[in-house]
Amino acid sequence: MNCQEALSLLYEIIDKEASEIEINEVQRHRERCQHCFEVYRVETAIQDFINEKLKDGNPSGSLEALKAKVSLKLDEIDGQQTAKENRPFFRRTAAVLAAAASLVILIGGAFFLRDLYWHQTEYLPLEQAHVAIADDPTVFVNDAGTFSTILRVRDELGYDVSASVHGFSLIGGQHEEIMGVTMAHFVYSHGNGIVSVFVAPSEQFEISNDLKDGLIVRNQIIFFDHYCRGCHLVFHRAGPAVVVTATTDHSIELLDFVPGHTII
């Protein structure tokens, strides 16, 4: 499946009401061409469209309203193109892409704003805290402060932080206020690779329900995986603590990066 086919799938969904669409085809394309779906926001619209259709055999009012808006927009663009060139709209690749962009504004705006809101509130502060030290992690080198932070995390949250994890060595740690929560921030390095580890009290810092689709179980630990363009975040619970690992290096396997263990 190429980009044009992926975008055209949106129109096929409208025509067939998603009953015969294989979502795996779209997923495979997304995995190969994330940028395409980042730009046009087609993936989210398709996923929600299909999920709602398959969830209930009787289309809801919101689904019918969505279909009506999309069909109306397609008719509008189709009429404009046909009047200008006397050619069917969907035969022109450039027009298909233009329509996709227009549809994004129409039906993808809500999805985009929702995603943007969640990113700004749930993920961006952690990413910024990591990026702030990624270029020069030596600013975290403070043996006394690091030792104090390790002891505080152990005493208050029952979490014992490891000095090394899969070849990465602990550089330093300190407490910071992020998203209104005081949490420990540890930094690990291995060559040019840098990983931040945030340890926060679970009663003050909750893992977003928005991450439920990214749930992965490995070694009896439930991880919540989140990718964005700039950063990779992995969340998991450890007793009364929530542990978050972060890196801008997508070659680092964060699901294997468990920086400590519960001692309570």
The predicted-structure confidence for 144-184, as pLDDT tens digits, reads as follows 999 999 999 999 999 999 999 999 999 999 999 999 999 99
Distance CA 102, CA 206 (A): 36
**pTM for this entry:** 0.59
Exposure on the CB side of residue 230, measured as CA atoms within 13 A:
12
Looking at the chain, the domain(s) classified CATH 3.40.1000 span 135-262
Q: What average pLDDT does this structure show over 113-136? A: 74
| pLDDT-derived band at 227, boundaries 50, 70, 90 | confident
* pLDDT above 90 as % of the chain: 37
What pLDDT does residue 211 have?
80
pLDDT of residue 16: 46
CATH number of the domain at 135-262, please?
3.40.1000
CB atoms within 10 A of CB 8: 18
Distance (Å, whole) CA 54 – CA 18? 8
CA distance 250 to 230: 9
The predicted structure's pLDDT at residue 195: 96
Q: Which two tokens stand for residue 181?
A: 């929560």
**Is 258's pLDDT higher than 80?**
yes
Q: What is the pLDDT of residues 59-78, one digit of tens each?
A: 455 545 555 555 555 555 55
User: Do the beta carbons of residue 64 and residue 17 sit within 8 Å?
Assistant: no
Contact 249, 193 (CB under 8 A): yes
Residues 6+ apart with CB under 8 A from 142: 172, 174
Amino acid at 191: G
Distance of CA 236 to the CA centre of its chain: 15
Q: Given this model, what pLDDT does residue 93 score?
A: 42
